[in-house]
Structure 1
Amino acid sequence: MHVIAVANQKGGVGKTTTTINLAAALAWYGRRVLIIDFDPQGHLSESQGFDEDELTSPATLAGLLLGQFEGRLDTLIRQAADNLWIIPTNEDMFLLESQLYSKAGREYLLSRLLDALAPAFDVCLIDCPPSLTALTDAALVASQVRSEGPTSGRILVPVQSEHSTKRALRLLFKQIMTIRNALRVGLEVAGLVVNFYDNRKGKIVTTTYQALQSIEGVPVLATIGDRKEMREAWANQTSVDGYAPDSEAARWYRELACELFPELKNTEPAEVAS
């Protein structure tokens, strides 16, 4: 299973939007996709119509990671669409953060869970919280590059083209380097997704975009404009592919899927092995 941590500690950059719509694009291509809502705020779970009141402790993601739930893993998984499943979050995740610091090997808890789930899925996307804390560290470690084992992955970084983006990226890349060195794990940044881009917003937007394009070794994989179909899809608790499959926005996410998985290029969905 290929694991992609969708990460940026800066809020409002489109992490959840990227996660949902990239997952739907991969599912459109026939991949069996699992989303982990790893953000305690639960925007992704809410946006897909999952009620956190349906999740009862300890049968939650937090309960599982803390060793309080020992039931079947599939009881935590909800199907959102064809080829697309979600492990939703609930308010227990707010308590998980503080409790993780007392757990030995906390950075590997999510990685071990995904190893167990790997036979059932082709791709896992992790919607990370807007912070550089233990939850994000665990998500980054879960996306490590491995030559052997049931999973291997990369990090995808959504951004906006605005002045504060460069500092946020420096902090994120510094954290990635710290984890690499401290835990001796291979972490690879696949690239950036520039969200809500509109060059009519002025010079800061366009010059920041140029600066993002010039970051060595970190390509801009997709530039996503601001389209009404994306907002309407969110309001209708679905992906843009589920809401407007023929829209320009849906095409952008399919192109992003192909950038991450080149074998999908020029391939019709029915021809892609599940």
Structure 2
Amino acid sequence: MSSPVTSNDREKVVSKLPGWLRQNLKIRAAQHGVEIQAAVEQGIREWCSLASAVATIDTAGSDSFSTFLPFGQWEEFRQTAADRRVSLTQGLAQSIQLWLDANPAPNVERPEITRRIIVCNQKGGVGKTAITAGLGEALAESPEALHAVRVAKALAKALRESETQAGQAPPTEDPLDIENLPGPGLKVLLVDFDPQCHLTNQLGAAPVPMNGDSLTSHMAGDPKGDLRDLIVSIDDETFGGRLHLLPACNDAFLLDVRLSAVRAREAALERALAPIESDYDVIIVDCPPSLGLSMDAAAYYGRRRDGEKPGQSGALIVVQAEDSSADAYELLTTQVDDLRGDLQVHIDYLGIVVNLYDSRRGYIATSSLQGWVDIKDPRVVGLIGDLKEQKEAVRVKRPLLAYAPKSQQAIGMRALAREVL
């Protein structure tokens, strides 16, 4: 049936559609960046113009479906359905399937050069590991499903609101600030570069045994096997085998000592990971809170390579809205700037992530956040709240985006992923 309720020059129409077909339509329309009503309009137009009927669609279990179509199109569709002796539900299902067939899911866009993201800060306890995991999970989410994402304007809004939020609860998400978008579907490797093994433990993997093969051994020029043999898959259907982890080993506590005897030691991480780079679209390195040679190697690994566009790879700095993070930030940027000058390389900053934020902590938190926002270059690209879901996910050793995919933290991680992309 049709209704006089209009959207510009359109009328509302109501019919029925099987749930699986409606879901496919929602996902495919989002993948192509078109409105559902535009996809239905195009499908009906094509269906009405066919010279003969198409294959019957299984419409069992159909329920109500409504959209807006140009005035007159629904009546033309009804007449065509009557002429072909099919129900309106069947005709609509065929029309939508026709549009789906004509607009297949786009291929995931793969970077020409594997992107390398170095998650760092010289201060421990700011949540680098949580950001590393959440960012990697968000980048690997399925492109064949829709996921709640906080839009860019919502981040700006949250940053503005934070200035006046002292003593109040953290702002809640406005439904209008959330979009349901397909996942990027990228192949991601998380590298636990911290001898404390936090990333490895949080994702439910086992640290690499001492005295065996490890990333440290490969960096020190003493490999005992193929680095691929150490990599484990983070198994969850939302990642579809695209999310992998290179676990840490406690021998990384000795890495700086071992690197001191290695030639061109700043390139040690790059030499170790080079054989596996082509297997991934993005490699994210969870760095230790260190000012030593290992951090030099990580920063060098994230440098801009020949032919790589600015901002594709580089350092993502995780901070908290408190003073000690600012002190550590100065130490990190000084080290990176010295490396830039000494080696004559470009190391880009991908942005600042303010993690574990809670405006109820008052003036210290809100004024510190404003201080990060005022830096401008690098700019704040993520604001992640201090909420229980992340702690719960760590306790049960599951990825946050699998454990609590609709949580505010998960929504924020997806927003961060799109800012970094």
TM value normalised by structure 2: 0.59
Between 1:75-84 and 1:19-28, the stretch displaced more is 75-84
- Aligned residue type for 1:114: L
- Provide closer, same or farther for how the CA distance between residues 206 and 85 of structure 1 changes in structure 2, counting only shifts above 3 A: same
1:171-213: per-residue Cα shift (whole Å, max 9, x none)?
1111110000011111011110001111110111111111100
1:271 alignment partner in structure 2: none
2:206 alignment partner in structure 1: 51
Between 1:17-26 and 1:79-88, the stretch displaced more is 79-88
Residue 27 (structure 1) shift: 0.7
Q: Does 2:273 align with 1:104?
A: no
| Larger Rg, first or second structure (1 or 2) | 2
Residue 56 (structure 1) shift: 5.1
- Aligned residue type for 1:11: G
| 2:234 pairs with one of 72, 80, 83 | 80
In structure 2, the residue corresponding to 1:214 is in which secondary structure?
helix
Q: Does 2:194 align with 1:34?
A: no
CA contact (8 A) 2:232 2:246 kept: yes
TM value normalised by structure 1: 0.90
- Give the Cα–Cα distance (whole angstroms) in 2 for the partners of residues 121 and 59 of structure 1: 21
- Aligned residue type for 2:318: P
Provide the alpha-carbon RMSD of the alignment.
Answer: 1.4
In structure 1, the residue corresponding to 2:323 is in which secondary structure?
coil
Residue 70 (structure 1) shift: 4.6
1:233-257: per-residue Cα shift (whole Å, max 9, x none)?
1111122101011222111100100
CA contact (8 A) 2:381 2:419 kept: yes
Give ranges in structure 2 of 5+ residues lacking alignment.
Answer: 1-113, 142-183, 236-240
Pairing 1:143-222 to 2, within 5 Å after superposition: 143-148=302-307, 153-222=313-382
- Give the Cα–Cα distance (whole angstroms) in 2 for the partners of residues 236 and 177 of structure 1: 39
| 2:298 pairs with one of 136, 139, 149 | 139
Residue 114 (structure 1) shift: 2.8
Identity %: 38
In structure 2, the residue corresponding to 1:21 is in which secondary structure?
helix
Pairing 1:235-274 to 2, within 5 Å after superposition: 235-261=395-421
Q: Does 2:222 align with 1:62?
A: no
CA contact (8 A) 1:191 1:220 kept: yes
Pairing 1:105-120 to 2, within 5 Å after superposition: 105-120=264-279
| 2:132 pairs with one of 7, 15, 19 | 19
Residue 148 (structure 1) shift: 3.4
- Give the Cα–Cα distance (whole angstroms) in 1 for the partners of residues 389 and 376 of structure 2: 33
- Give the Cα–Cα distance (whole angstroms) in 1 for the partners of residues 210 and 259 of structure 2: 20
Structure number with greater CO (CA < 8 Å, separation at least 6) is: 1
- Give the Cα–Cα distance (whole angstroms) in 2 for the partners of residues 206 and 258 of structure 1: 25
- Give the Cα–Cα distance (whole angstroms) in 2 for the partners of residues 84 and 203 of structure 1: 39
